[in-house]
Structure 1
């Protein structure tokens, strides 16, 4: 753990100096003589602990410092120091979120004991948050034969450093698989750096990946490291690799072959040590045949191939995913109940947006539900309503694919023909939306 940053706020310079000497063994101690100076210090960077005197001349007092810290650094503990007898003010500070309060004159042992306890709490809060994020982001939920095969491949591939290519439709969970690979690899203590190649313009991609020197192009006001350097010792996840242009493809090939990059505007190579995990929802062999993707780069990336099947091909995983997402988005930490009828309809739906769409649908249902019980009425058409309309229509039962197409057309109409907004609400990419609209007779060119 790096050295703690501690801020001492007191209008008495002797008191500040004494606290700095006492707390020096715990970390780097800075001083501020009043709430305004403390605010300026806090704006310069995060602190792990703040000690503030209660009574200070205007403007403000220790409570103002406490409120400032809680507003901008809510996890940073604040210890309030108060003159003996001012217990009422100390209790006010506790109610406002102070970690503890101490009375003057200083008790050296008490100050060190409380400060150590506060710093340990801060460390535990950060550690627990990090662990929760790792678990959430790398969770692979399901026990279908197709997903169990993915589990096995992840376990086998995690120990090596070779590149991995993950394929699958949009929303199938490719980044979660990449995070699972990283978490189970010897690089787990290193960084995991995700890059959405489809969201970066071709002109900026080179700088994003490899960095640049100051003045190497218009707007390069300073030198910058690229994500390959940021991912040293860890994993670099290149999502939507199929969208990368030919120039950058050749540079990626060189990095994979030689283990070094060249920053834009520099000629000196820089060694890098990042495991590359790439993902795509495109058929890269088809793109090679079209002449828009390098075959030699595909071979370099596709050393280990993991394919994530769409959700409609592993429906047995849907109940577990629904419960997982219901627990993640539940109010007050209490998981809601999903009725058997609602679960049946969720399982029967084709989910063109896959796992991501399923999570969004469950999250939206929970946001609007106050009972804690999710029934068919809590989900949108055609998931929640289609079976009611079809009851008794044995001779006219449209497929779930047809219902998906009708729903896409309905959403597009509801948002005034805005394809981007419709795709966002449906949680599918624009290509999938176009296919759905073409099948309904809606002009895909409509904007």
Structure 2
């Protein structure tokens, strides 16, 4: 799958510090790139209605991680999937009378354009599920052979009892798991399952649905969680340094995809296949989380079509810490636009109007320190706000730093 053009990233003097992040699974701070490699896997879109500000908040967050890692000299290897065949996509295609493949292609194109506009660095591996069927079949067959999966009619389910460490990502109790599994695509009531939480690995062929050759599994299509496990293991290798996404993916998606990886790795990924789980907060609008089912979405493409600068949108998102749940308002966007204009005005200011006592190197140091501290974007924006009150175009190192680290081009 083709991604999108990469933005130019200026070279900065020196190196930034190591990035400390909050691991969802432990609640503790960690610097997971102790081997100098950052294997980043971020769950991608299901392309039937994209890209709203909740999506953008997530992908800008993990773009920041990649930028800070690169500045610290980390070898970044980034993979992102596209769930380009799944129940919600098929349902939307049926509702609208559009072929599911055309709907997916259209929404992926829109997503690419939004990511390019927001200056998000594209993944090294941008991988659709449809092009990964063979990887999924390989993985499911291995789980069946290991006794960690079983059949229910034409379908194949993971046997969670095979994984003693299941539950270690979200640390939820059984009641919470049951509720979220039912709400988020699970089928706890399916007759024949060994346990209500056992997730679907391979959905046997149904009339009117797309299907592929599953070899020993029979014709069908992948389940949700196994696709990310197979793509991450194949395109990044284990252990994955950071598994990322929104907090709504902690359970069941990340809990179950990690369980699959744990059983597939056979110990080759060390004690755990994921070193750290990092999750971005959810964005609300009109009193509720932005969601396709509710329809309370603010689209990046609609904002840019109305003349809102992508840099202003990016600064609107960066004003909120990545782990924060927040409610979008027009005032947020206005503040982002005002900040963006102030920064651009400073970058265009002649040297004669600048403060001669200002030290651009200290601004770079403070910006790096803020971002290395669990992506403290509020502190980082405050550093640049202070510079904008006195800085000018002569401070090329600051302008480059805002571009390289925050992804905002002021030129």
TM-score range, shorter chain: under 0.3
Structure whose CA Rg is larger: 1
Structure-1-length-normalised TM-score: 0.24
Larger relative contact order (C-alpha < 8 A, sep ≥ 6)?
Answer: 2
Bigger fraction of residues in helix: 1
Structure-2-length-normalised TM-score: 0.26
